[in-house]
Structure 1
Amino acid sequence: MSEHLTYRKEIRPCVLTFDDIKKIFRELNKCQERAVEIEKKSWKKESFESEQVYKNFVNQRCDNYKISIVVNGANGEDLAGEDSTLFDSDNLPEEVVGVYFSNISWYRSMFGVNPAHCFAINIDFRKPPIIDFSTRSTDPTPNSSIVEVSGNDSLWVQSVVEAVKRVEREKSSNRNILHRPFAYDFVVWFLGIPVGVFGASKCEAFIGKYTDSNFVLYATCIVFFGALLMCFRGAFSYTKWAFPKIELIREGSATLKHRKRWSVLVGTIVLSVISSFVFKAISG
């Protein structure tokens, strides 16, 4: 008897559309058909009382070897179906936060056990809070996107994994640097603190014109430095929200609108800083 294999893998950062999700479903459907054929070979006719009992058993099992799809909405809506037309439905949630594929639900509800060759795939499109000071800066961005596959046939297990990985590779993004552990700590040390020190030095020069008190001067600079770091933390949270780990692109998405504004804002700041240094270099 072949060894039973179990595979569990997180889905890497990527940017998807409903066409990509349909593509995953089509590939999973092919895997499902192969799973049925593998199962049929394991059901020996001679172990049944009669040929009719065997046929009934096979038909009943095969009829319930089907893929369930659940689309989750941000407000608790769940839309369920069994084929890709679900993704064209007018009843789709306005904000989709998850898509779940599984060939376990129907089979288990009928027979009380999982099929011998089964999978559960969760694609999590949830985004972190737009401004978040509550989570620890060292923590990665929470995301429950995962592929879980189990079966006796190693080639079949690999084909299910590849159905997801193929689209994952095609639509991969470089956003992992934003969402990995210690991402904020790295950025704040190499960008946030230098910006804070630069801002505090400008604050010192400005406040020094209006007071002779060292206490007032340095207290103001410390507060200003802390405020800049808080703003930097807020800006980093906003960036993670605008560029989520796994994203579903839909027309009219609020994230796309925010991203355009983010690009304009960052571009303006960077251009201003470069212009300031160039002006000083020319005039100095």
Structure 2
Amino acid sequence: MSDTIVKNRLRKPIDSLTINKDDLLKFLQILQERANSACEIECNHIESFIKVEDLEKSKENLRSCSALKLTITGMDGEELFGSITEVFESLSFPEQIKSLYLNSELIYKSNFNYIPRNRFDIFIDFRKPKVLDFSFAPSEKTPNDSTFCVEGFDSTWVNGVFSEIDKFFNKRSSSISGIHKNSIYDVIVWILGIPIGFWACYKLSINISQVFSDSFLQNALFVYIFFLSLFILRILFHYFRWLYPQVQYKSTNDLSIIHRGFFYVIATSIIGAFLYDMLHLLF
């Protein structure tokens, strides 16, 4: 009985990543080495069914396909496709990257309609969540399509490449990526949002009572102020996610530091005033 050949497939989403151009180039160069090793495995495999007189030519064709081709899309819609060197040395390389896609079997299929036994593909989504996008609930995980997949019939190669990619991303994960997980917003609302909403009503209660004598209008304004506070919290939460994206490409002209300073001034002013009044009331 012949041995059963099992195809291994390992896929994982990229939950957190902060990377610059140099690290991205280093990562792609590592992948090129792994693609070369996969090509050599392929060359050894075809020896069992290719005629001797055609073997060297077939190996030459396979090795010509091992050079990786990638697609990089910029935030302004510009798109670059080519080898690693061609793309990264291009004068049109975008300042802000929107996405990167790489498939190691692409050239095999396009040139010879050949499907290699071992392959990988990677898609990195660098898009930031929009601050004023209310189409999805803030309690949900931040949408991001970044993922990588390694598959093949050589389990040693598959597991090795998958582990290497995974470790590379883990070493460059964001320290505050938890802000993009499910239900984080709900926790913030209960710990800060609701108390600050009541505090805002308390701070404005004297002004409201002086301007409006009608109790219905007073109560309506208190309700409005309470929900307005939660709405502002939601905007600030989206803004924080935008400042610290789940998958971030750090460019040389990154203005995030300025935005972060602006955010911290607003956040510390609100939370500081809230805590001061709470401590004053308690003590």
- Please give the TM-score of this superposition, normalised by the length of structure 1: 0.90
1:39 to 38, 42, 53: 42
- Who is 1:212 aligned against? 213
- Who is 2:105 aligned against? 104
Compared CA separation, residues 246 and 261, structure 1 to 2 (3 A) = same
Aligned 8 A contact 1:25 1:84 in 2: no
| Residues 93-132 of structure 1 aligned to structure 2 (within 5 Å) | 93-132=94-133
1:10 to 10, 13, 31: 13
Distance in 2, Cα, partners of 1:88 & 1:27: 17
- Who is 1:268 aligned against? 269
Aligned 8 A contact 1:104 1:115 in 2: yes
- Who is 2:238 aligned against? 237
Is 1:222 paired with 2:228?
no
Aligned 8 A contact 2:13 2:147 in 1: yes
Distance in 2, Cα, partners of 1:134 & 1:169: 30
- What per-residue deviation string (whole Å, max 9, x for no partner) do you get for residues 136-166 of structure 1? 2343111111011111111211222233222
Is 1:167 paired with 2:175?
no
SS at match of 1:208: helix
Distance in 2, Cα, partners of 1:225 & 1:56: 75
Aligned 8 A contact 2:125 2:247 in 1: yes
TM-aligned CA deviation for residue 16 of structure 1 = 0.8
Is 1:203 paired with 2:204?
yes
With 26-35 and 243-252 compared, the bigger mean Cα shift is at: 26-35
Aligned 8 A contact 1:207 1:217 in 2: yes
Distance in 1, Cα, partners of 2:44 & 2:275: 69
Query: Aligned Cα RMSD in Å?
Result: 2.2
Is 1:66 paired with 2:67?
yes
- What per-residue deviation string (whole Å, max 9, x for no partner) do you get for residues 212-269 of structure 1? 3211110110111111111111111111111110101112123333123212332333
TM-aligned CA deviation for residue 199 of structure 1 = 0.9
Aligned 8 A contact 1:28 1:163 in 2: no
Distance in 2, Cα, partners of 1:101 & 1:175: 27
TM-aligned CA deviation for residue 276 of structure 1 = 4.7
Matched residue type, 1:260: G
Matched residue type, 2:41: I
SS at match of 2:10: strand
Aligned 8 A contact 1:31 1:159 in 2: no
Matched residue type, 1:201: Y
Distance in 1, Cα, partners of 2:113 & 2:184: 44
Matched residue type, 2:254: S
Matched residue type, 2:211: Y
Distance in 2, Cα, partners of 1:187 & 1:274: 15
TM-aligned CA deviation for residue 31 of structure 1 = 0.9
Distance in 2, Cα, partners of 1:113 & 1:181: 42
TM-aligned CA deviation for residue 168 of structure 1 = 1.4
Distance in 2, Cα, partners of 1:79 & 1:211: 62
SS at match of 2:150: strand
TM-aligned CA deviation for residue 30 of structure 1 = 1.7
Aligned 8 A contact 2:138 2:238 in 1: no
- What per-residue deviation string (whole Å, max 9, x for no partner) do you get for residues 28-72 of structure 1? 122112112211221125x334x3311111111221122112111
Matched residue type, 1:22: L
With 223-232 and 267-276 compared, the bigger mean Cα shift is at: 267-276
- Please give the TM-score of this superposition, normalised by the length of structure 2: 0.90
Matched residue type, 2:106: S
| Residues 21-60 of structure 1 aligned to structure 2 (within 5 Å) | 21-44=24-47, 47-49=49-51, 51-60=52-61
Aligned 8 A contact 1:139 1:180 in 2: yes
Aligned 8 A contact 2:209 2:218 in 1: yes
SS at match of 2:149: strand
- What per-residue deviation string (whole Å, max 9, x for no partner) do you get for residues 157-214 of structure 1? 1222233222212211233322122232222222211111111222223312333321
- What per-residue deviation string (whole Å, max 9, x for no partner) do you get for residues 56-111 of structure 1? 11111221122112111122211122124633432112321112222121111022
With 154-163 and 243-252 compared, the bigger mean Cα shift is at: 154-163
Distance in 1, Cα, partners of 2:44 & 2:93: 39
